[in-house]
Structure 1
């Protein structure tokens, strides 16, 4: 096998902006691109391979054909033929709704789905932009319902001003929302289950507000108050910097300069490895000599059967590296 690229799945959304196509150097007639799904096995949104021998096959077909060679044996044993991650870019021209996602247990009971733990890497943000993550004070489930009903839920949420390079880890159950003027990369469990809590009383052209899931969210929310919800890390060239580590994914930041080739071991992980290019461009060469170019805005899936890859660049490059931990 070889490193795989996929056809992009663009989502035209009411709150979408114009950053995704510029970032990925794409042309499209669609307006308001809010999301770009880079690798997905969500129903009706299964990614199609865009390069090499398997071009035209979708991710489900390749998993069924290659199994552990693609996913890794421990990933296959744990998830079967379900690809466990969904990789996205999100461009918010307007504030997204306040929401929460259920954990695995609740999602399985209610929707026969995975839960949704996720992380955000801020690619860019307008001056003054920010997002919501967690509560600013301890509240009870009953107080949550009361505050949703009387439009004061925003008064007890933590607001975080953001800038390029900021990272937020969002376990299932944490209340959150992306604010307007923010462009992010999102790594999440494969799930499209979202409970909408508050939507700023916005109305559509017919005067109707979007459906809220107050009761469903009540049992899904983690009501504890946490401090330091932004992930702190130290930049380091040519070495992986850990951004997130949980049962569902491990994510590193790789910042490589033009003076060094960085070797990354794949076989010891027993997992596919995903690389998402945030800045610059790199050349990836695997142990079979297969050469893959990776440009800003592109995502590549390296099969678990790969022994190692060498990453090099003629300029500086910034990559997110993601895999399923044992």
Structure 2
């Protein structure tokens, strides 16, 4: 297989700096060069071959060019970025593969960070890994499951959710706001490795069922 020289997609956010350009040689016309997606088949930021072909298109046109380890994945499973932050990074919450594939038709992200360089006085602090486990939420996507049937009855799935959820209702998007603020605030500084279920306790019911 020939060596592929890739050109990254670059991103511009408010918290970014310029060291990817000045110190790492990434070429971009962006004033604030925050991220360089150097190995990516993601549609929001693909890597490009010299002729303008995306890496995803090249892989599709050359089956087996990456070996066989990725065959079990529907999509290229790796995204490598260079990131330059001149301000504190924000809290990021990423869903599971199951949820992300269902809602966004993309894989979730299991992240690994490697610090290449930092300014004097910079440090890592209060590293936490928590998540929110949402229950059944009333959204436009779930609206068909909550429609009144022609005979005036509730949809069978709607009946099941309301009957088996101790809170006796579907969740609302607003129900997720408080837990998210809690996990993003100093109030959760001593909380780590937690999946905070916001589901009206339906998970407790389902987990106790046989089989």
**With structure 2 as the length reference, what TM-score do the two structures score?**
0.60
- Residue 23 (structure 2) aligns with: 23
Gaps of 5+ in 1: 159-172, 176-214, 220-326
Which structure has the highest helix share of the two?
A: 2
- Residue 6 (structure 2) aligns with: 6
* Paired positions, count: 156
Question: Using the alignment, how far apart are the partners of 2:115 and 2:194 within structure 1?
Answer: 18
Report the CA distance shift for 1:61/1:88 in structure 2 as closer, same or farther (over 3 A): same
1:211-245 CA deviation, whole Å, 9 max, x = no partner?
xxxx9x957xxxxxxxxxxxxxxxxxxxxxxxxxx
Kindly indicate whether residue 96 of structure 2 is the aligned counterpart of residue 64 of structure 1. Answer: no
Partner of 2:79: helix, strand, or coil?
A: strand
Question: Using the alignment, how far apart are the partners of 2:113 and 2:107 within structure 1?
Answer: 19
Larger Rg: 2
- Residue 156 (structure 1) aligns with: 188
Kindly indicate whether residue 102 of structure 2 is the aligned counterpart of residue 109 of structure 1. Answer: yes
Question: Using the alignment, how far apart are the partners of 2:59 and 2:23 within structure 1?
Answer: 29
Partner of 1:3: helix, strand, or coil?
A: coil
Residues 40 and 85 in structure 1, CA contact (< 8 A), matched pair in contact too: yes
Which structure has the highest strand share of the two?
A: 1
**Deviation for aligned residue 1:34:** 0.9
Partner of 2:7: helix, strand, or coil?
A: coil
- Residue 121 (structure 1) aligns with: 114
**With structure 1 as the length reference, what TM-score do the two structures score?**
0.41
- Residue 79 (structure 1) aligns with: 73
Question: RCO higher in 1 or 2 (8 Å CA, sep ≥ 6)?
Answer: 1
1:135-155 CA deviation, whole Å, 9 max, x = no partner?
69xxx99xx954655797223
**Deviation for aligned residue 1:90:** 0.7
Q: RMSD between aligned alpha carbons?
A: 3.6
Moved over 6 A (4+): none
Report the CA distance shift for 1:125/1:131 in structure 2 as closer, same or farther (over 3 A): farther
| Aligned with 2:88 (options 85, 95, 102) | 95
Residues 14 and 32 in structure 1, CA contact (< 8 A), matched pair in contact too: yes
